[in-house]
Amino acid sequence: MEYTTDNYENIFSDQLTDNIVIHDHLGGFLPGYKNYILEHINNNYPGSTVIVSTLLLPEVNEKYSNIKFEYNHPYFLFSSLETYFTHPEIKFENFVCSFNGGSHVSRQILTSMLHKQGMFDSRYSSKNFVVSPESVFGHISNYVDNPELCSKFIIDFNSEFYNTNYSFGFLKNKHEKNIYNLEGKITNSFLHLVSESMATSAHPFVTEKFLYSIVTRGLYLAYGQVGWHSFVEKYFGFRKFEKIFNYEFDEIQNPIHRLIKLLEMINKFKTLSKDDWRDLYLMEQETIEFNHQHYFSKGYLKQLKRVAEFK
């Protein structure tokens, strides 16, 4: 039996077989690696084999010990940029770009804070959805005890930003086409802030989005789940830009506090000159080239095979 994000709810009503294929993010994880889908299968269908497209930490395997897990790497997504060989010249006309397709809670909060902090330039960043600031406040309230204070840094209640859709012709899962819509925005920006899927989850979920910067030889950071950057480094082998960026934010459990810490860290780069941005970029040139080669040589697949068993 096979499930995607469109029919996850059927898992709880179907009579499941011994082999269950679950694509994408499994609906996300709560702290302590609690996942309702895996909990249901573990308790009601012991001995089942669950084939997942997201690499799971050993702690998840231990928590749901009645399940036999198999990892099926979504190579069709990760390989979608393998024919993209030439990118525009690297320039530094803009500070940060960020591309936000679906309207998940984490993207609502991210785009809101980028706007509030003066980092959302609609020429370089997208928001393919509309949302009310009151709704964003409600989401923040679900994660912090002091939403009124946090909202001061995240929400501009009097702005039309929330009711406006900013798009560059986003095509879901058409990365071989989307890259040509976004390449100039990435290569003209100092930093690509990757808006990862379901950043509020408590387990890393790595999609192909950061590869847009890898193939265009750019600097990137992700608003992803706790431990996302360390996970990418350990399991996929892509190196972090540790000469210029402080990755302490990556280990913060709370997604709101993690985002605030991330933007607080990059804010110090915002007022630097274009020449300063270029100097910082050149400091990470070796890592940029390594990551570029690591992708096109399929070194990340070799790394996966060293640290994880997958189909």
In this structure, are residues 97 and 189 in contact, taking their beta carbons and an 8 Å threshold?
Answer: yes
Question: Which tokens hold the place of 300?
Answer: 């990340």
Separation of alpha carbons 139 and 133, rounded Å: 10
pLDDT at 306: 85
Q: What are 76's two structure tokens?
A: 């069709």
All structural domains of the chain with their residue ranges: 2-72, 80-297
pLDDT reported for residue 311: 52
pLDDT tens figures, 215-259: 999 999 999 999 999 999 999 999 999 999 999 999 999 999 999
Return per-residue pLDDT of the chain as tens, 311 residues.
Answer: 999 989 999 999 999 988 999 999 999 999 999 999 999 999 999 999 999 999 999 999 999 999 999 998 888 788 989 999 999 999 999 999 999 988 899 999 999 999 999 999 999 999 999 999 999 999 999 999 999 999 999 999 999 999 999 998 766 767 778 899 999 999 999 999 999 999 999 999 999 999 999 999 999 999 999 999 999 999 999 999 999 999 999 999 999 999 999 999 999 999 999 999 999 999 999 999 999 999 999 999 999 888 876 55
Mean pLDDT of the chain: 94
Q: How many CA atoms lie within 13 A of 127 on its CB side?
A: 23
Q: 146-182 burial, b if ≥16 CB within 10 A, otherwise e? A: ebeebbeebbbeeeebbeeebebeeeeeebeebbebb
CA distances from 52 to 2, 163, 172 (A): 10, 36, 21
pTM for the model stands at: 0.94
pLDDT at residue number 77:
81
Residue 7 is predicted with a pLDDT of 94
pLDDT of residue 307: 81
